[in-house]
Amino acid sequence: MNAYEYITLREHPELAESAAEWFHRKWGVPKEAYLECIEAYLSSATEYGWYLCLNDNQIIGGLGVIENDFHDRKDLAPNVCAVYTEEAYRGHGIAGCLLNMATEDLRAKGITPIYLVTDHVGFYERYGWEFLCMVQGDGEPEMTRMYIHW
């Protein structure tokens, strides 16, 4: 098994542009939106971080933390967003490591609880997340699941 490298973008700010492009390709959100959030983190305007998993210096997994992940419950913040692992690397525990890294980092900064929205059932519970409520996604016809992590 490969030894993956888990980093924050503050540890490797030179990856900001490529990380924004990678997240854009995975989720279709404009690259500029990711760059704006990443730059706020790099400049310490926010402690909401960006976390990556690298394999041979290639991004194979990542997630971010933002104020609101496109839903109507603006009071439930911050939100983990853009959780993604490249298909070839799924099942290796990468997303779990990234989730744990983010929750521990934020807890160390006094930021708790944190939230995330997802349609997945059963995945996030493995990493200590608890179902909280249903929320309305911006422009979405169906409600989606909101989880909380203390």
Q: What is the pLDDT of residues 25-69, one digit of tens each?
A: 999 999 999 999 999 999 999 999 999 999 999 999 999 999 999
Query: What domains can you pick out in the chain, each with its CATH number?
Result: 5-111 (3.40.630.30)
Pairing of strands 58-66, 50-55: antiparallel
Q: What is the pLDDT of residues 14-28, one digit of tens each?
A: 999 999 999 999 999
Q: What is the pLDDT of residues 100-114, one digit of tens each?
A: 999 999 999 999 999
The neighbour count for residue 126, using CB atoms within 10 Å, is 11
Whether 1 shows a pLDDT value over 60: the answer reads no
The token pair at 37 is 């959030």
The neighbour count for residue 119, using CB atoms within 10 Å, is 8
Look at residue 40 and give its three-state secondary structure: helix
Mean pLDDT of the chain: 96
> With bands split at pLDDT 50, 70 and 90, how would you rate the model's confidence at 129?
very high
pTM above 0.75, yes or no: yes
As a whole number of angstroms, the distance between CA 66 and CA 50 comes to 9
Q: Give residue 102's pLDDT.
A: 98
Structure-token match 């409520």, residue found: 133
Whether 93 shows a pLDDT value over 70: the answer reads yes
Percent of residues, the chain, with pLDDT higher than 70:
99
Sheet arrangement for strand 50-55: 5-8, 50-55, 58-66, 79-85, 114-118, 143-149, 130-136
